[in-house]
Structure 1
Amino acid sequence: MDNFVLEGSAKTPSVDFNAEKGVLELRGRSIPENSIEFYKPLNEWIENYGKSPQPETTVDVRLEYFNTSSSKCILDLFKQLENLNGSGTNIKVNWYFEEDDEDMEEAGEDYQAIINLPFNMIEVEEI
């Protein structure tokens, strides 16, 4: 299976899903004009990945900021991964947030409360 890579921009995060290693990384800002259209190819790719996933899948989220419409798409992404968890792959989420960014820390905690996936909350100096 090919990897899934999207270059980031000022309004969209970079997305790098290495199928061989089972590692998905979201990095940057997520404020696209149309969040659903932006995340749709990733959702479709994950659906295919779910047919033959790696035994361990790691999701590294290193977002500086995301808007409300992106938050719904990210939740949908986590729900999709939650459905895959335990059926051929064990998924864990590493949620990175800057030490002074309470909003991003709380966002990670909110997702952690909603989604039944192991979450590691990781405080860093800079995203």
Structure 2
Amino acid sequence: MEDFIIAGSRDIYFSPSVNLNAATGKCSISGESYLEEPYEFYKKISVWFWEYVKAGGKNIVLDLKFNYFNTSSSRALLEMLRVLRDLHHSGTEVTVNWYYPNPDDDEILMEGEDFRDECGLEINMIEYELEESGEK
């Protein structure tokens, strides 16, 4: 089982950074998600989660830290979270952390709460301070 890494890009479409660690189950997706084919993008991540568990992985910790995602990415993210919910129900320990910026972006927080309600998976809401450089 290999790590799954995608460097984020900001070309015509924006893709988030992805780092899925096969040795530890520690995973992160961050940045902006404005993709031409969001279902294909997030399906690859979902397949990796299934393969990780089939290879003996017992726990997944996923940190999600978006500063923007469009509607089609939102739907694809929800499908990915449902995969994690299914893995959790089949015995895998799954922790999802949703990071949202303080103080000025309630929208990201509300999106995370909506995902939690819609997918049926517990998602930890974690506030973080924006850095002076404007990082989100």
TM-score normalised to the size of structure 2?
0.86
Residue in 2 that maps onto 1:113: 117
1:1-127 equivalent positions in 2, closer than 5 A: 1-10=1-10, 11-99=14-102, 100-126=104-130, 127=136
CA drift at 1:104: 0.3
Contact 2:112 2:125 in 1 (8 A): yes
CA drift at 1:86: 4.1
CA drift at 1:50: 2.6
Q: What fraction of aligned residue pairs are identical, expressed as a percent?
A: 39
CA distance in 2, matches of 1:53, 1:88: 12
Q: 1:112 to 1:19 in 2, by over 3 A?
A: same
CA drift at 1:82: 0.6
Return the index of the structure with the highest Cα Rg: 2
TM-score normalised to the size of structure 1?
0.92
CA drift at 1:89: 1.7
1:28-77 CA distance string (max 9 Å, x none): 00001221232232222222123134332111001111000000110000
Unaligned 5+ runs, structure 2: 131-135
Give the number of aligned pairs. Answer: 127
Secondary structure at the aligned position of 2:62 is classed as strand
Contact 1:61 1:95 in 2 (8 A): yes
